[in-house]
Chain A
C-alpha cells in the first residue's frame, strides 16, 4: 500500500460523490475520531452506498479500505456486490486478493470473500463473464488448494484457512481434488508432527467425507491408517494429536482397544526395557531418545484393562494411580475420579 495517499476530496474523479461522515448523534459511550486517511475513505464509501453506485472505482475504494481495515465487513460486502453487478471476472479477483489474504489470514472476511467467489464460479460455469479464462471449476479449485497450501506455509494451524480448505473439498467434491489430500497432510506433518489441524484434516479426508472410488476396501484403508499413526507415535510418543487420532480410528470403526495392546506396551515402560534394534513394521518400537513412559500410552493401556473388566480393572487403577502421582499430575483429579469409578465397578460386581 502506498504510504502517501491523496484524499478522495482532492481527487477530481471523486468530485461527484458526497462523502457521508460517521454518525455522531447522541453522546455515545464510544465517539469516533478516525485517522484522516481511514475517515476520508470510509466517508466516501458511505456516500457511495447511499447512491448505490457499482463501478470500477468502487472496487478501488473498497480495496483501499480493506487494506486499512480488513475487518470492515461493509467494504467486503459492497465489493462483492459490485463485482457481480459489473461482471468483473472473479478469477482475477481471487488472484488480486491473494496478497491481502496472506497478510490478513486471521481475518475471517478474507476467507468468506473467497468462499463467495468460489461458490459463484461453480454455480455459474455457463456465464462467460464470471471467469476470464476457460479453466474448469475443478481446475480453479485446484489452483485454490495450491494457494491455501501457500498460506498454511506461513501459519500452519490457521483455523479459518483449514476450515476453508475442508469446505472447498466438500463443496467441489471432485475425486481429482481429494486424491492429493493425503500427500498434502503428509507434507504438513513432516514439517510438524504435532500439528493437530493436519491430523484432524486426515481424519476428515479418510473417514468423514464419504467413501470414494478406490477406497472401497475399508480393511486396506484401516491397515494403512494404523501403520501411519503407529509410525508417527513411534517418532513422537508424547504427541497428544496422534494418540487422539488412534483412538478416533478405533472408536469410529468400533474396534476394541485390545487390538493394539502389543504395540502400546513398550511405550508404557521406561526406555531401557525395549529391545531397540528390532525392526517391526507391525508394531514399531519407540524411537531412540524418546521420553518414556508416555502418558498417552499408559492411559491407552489402562483403557484396554478397563475394557477387559474383572480383575484387570485393578491393573487399570495401578496405571491411573501412576498418572495421577507421577506422569500427568496436572490432571490428577481426573485420574483419581477414573480410579474411583473403576473400583466402584469392581465392588458392584462382587
Chain B
C-alpha cells in the first residue's frame, strides 16, 4: 500500500504562491484567504506548521482587512465576506496573532449578516447558505463571543433545512448534501444542540456515502471525491460513527489521488491536485487515525490540541491513531 508523501505535499503548498502567471491563479483570487487557511491547516496536520513564513502570512491577512465593512476580504481590496473572515480568524488563531484584529468590529460585522429567518448572508450582496451560518457560528465561538448570537433563531433555521433522509441542505427545501450536512451538524455541535439531529437516519445516510471502491460521495448516485472524506467523516466523528467506515479502503482511495510527481492531492486519481483537496484528503486521513499525522478537530477543522487549549472541544471521536 502506498504512503502519504508528506515532504512532496509540504513542498507543493510552499509553491502555491509562486506560479501567478497562470490564469487560474487570478480567477481564484476570491478564494485566496481560504487557500492560505487550507494550506496552513494541512501543514499543521502534517506537522510542518513552520513551512510557510509566519510574518508574511500575518501581513497578508491584515492587508485583506476591509475597514469600511469591518471584516476580511479574500484578497487585498476585495469586499469583506464571511468565508474569508472565518479563514482570517482561523489563520490568526493558529499563528497566535489574534491581537492584530479589532474583535468588536468583526463581531459586529458577523452579526449584521444574520437574516430575519436566522440564516446568514455571506456578504452585503445577500447570498444565503447554511455554509455562512456555520462560518458565523464558528467564528463567534473562536472569538469567545457566542453569547451575542440569537441561538434559537439560528438553530431554528438549521432545523428547517433538515430533510426526510436525515441530512441537511444549503437552504430550506434544498437537497441533502454531505458538505451541508457537515456545516449544519458542526454548527449544532458548537451550539450544543445535537439533539436536533435525527442520529440513526443521518448516520445511516452518511455510511451510505461510501462506495465499493472505498471513496465517499456527497449525494446518492454521484461520483466519489476526496473532499467528501472530510465532510462525511467529520460529521460521523461528531456523531461518534467513524468506526462504521471501511477505513482501509477509504485510506487507499485518498492515497491513490496523490500526485506522486509534484505533490498535492486531487479530487480523484489522475486529476489535477489542488490545495483544497490536499487539506481535505489529509484531514480525512487524520480522522481515520493515519500514522504520523496530528489530530484534527473535526468541528472546527483546526489542530485538535489548539481547540482543546481554547476550551472549545466537543464530544467528537476520531479513530485511534495507528503507530504504523
Contacts and interface: CB of A to CB of B under 8 A. Distances in A.
B176 interface: yes
Interface stretch (A71-79, A212-220, A256-264, A307-315): A71-79
A74 B26 contact: no
Nearest to B20: A33
A163 interface: yes
Given A71-B27, A194-B221, A244-B220, A333 B174 contact: no
Interface stretch (B134-142, B238-246, B296-304): B238-246
A166 B32 CA distance: 31
Contacts of A208: 164, 173
A188 to B, nearest CB: 13
Contacts of B21: 33
Contacts of A248: 164-165
Nearest to B39: A29
Contacts of A23: 63, 76-77
A20 to B, nearest CB: 9
Interface stretch (A145-153, A199-207, A266-274, A279-287): A199-207
Contact of A29 (B57, B212, B246): B57
A71 B60 CA distance: 22
Contacts of B59: 26-28
A323 to B, nearest CB: 12
Given A34-B26, A170-B173, A333-B243, A29 B163 contact: no
A167 B173 contact: yes
Interface string B99-131: 000000000000000000000000111110000
B175 interface: yes
B174 A159 contact: yes
A35 B170 CA distance: 34
Interface in B20-42: 20-21, 23, 26-30, 32, 36
Interface in A61-100: 69, 71-74, 76-77, 80
Contacts of A109: 127
B125 A166 contact: no
Contact of B221 (A30, A76, A241): A241
B172 interface: yes
A318 interface: no
B76 A25 contact: yes
B125 A73 contact: yes
Nearest to A77: B125
A32 B20 contact: yes
A208 B165 CA distance: 13
B56 A22 contact: no
Interface in B47-71: 52, 56-57, 59-60, 63
A116 interface: yes
Interface in A325-345: 330-334, 337
Contacts of B204: 334
Contacts of B243: 333, 337
A167 B175 CA distance: 12
Contact of B244 (A240, A241, A334): A334
B125 A76 contact: yes
B26 A35 contact: yes
B127 to A, nearest CB: 5
A290 B316 CA distance: 41
Given A35-B26, A241-B221, A163 B56 contact: no
A196 B219 contact: yes
Interface in A40-79: 46, 69, 71-74, 76-77
Contact of B219 (A46, A116, A157, A247): A157
15 contacts: A26-B76, A28-B60, A32-B75, A69-B27, A71-B30, A73-B30, A116-B126, A159-B175, A166-B171, A194-B220, A194-B221, A240-B220, A245-B164, A331-B210, A333-B244
Given A31-B20, A163-B169, A331-B244, 14 more contacts: A26-B59, A27-B56, A29-B56, A69-B26, A71-B30, A73-B79, A74-B78, A166-B172, A196-B219, A247-B164, A247-B165, A330-B211, A332-B246, A334-B244
Question: What 8 A-B pairs have minimum CB-CB distances, sorted nearest first?
Answer: A248-B164, A166-B173, A163-B174, A23-B77, A23-B76, A200-B175, A29-B60, A196-B220
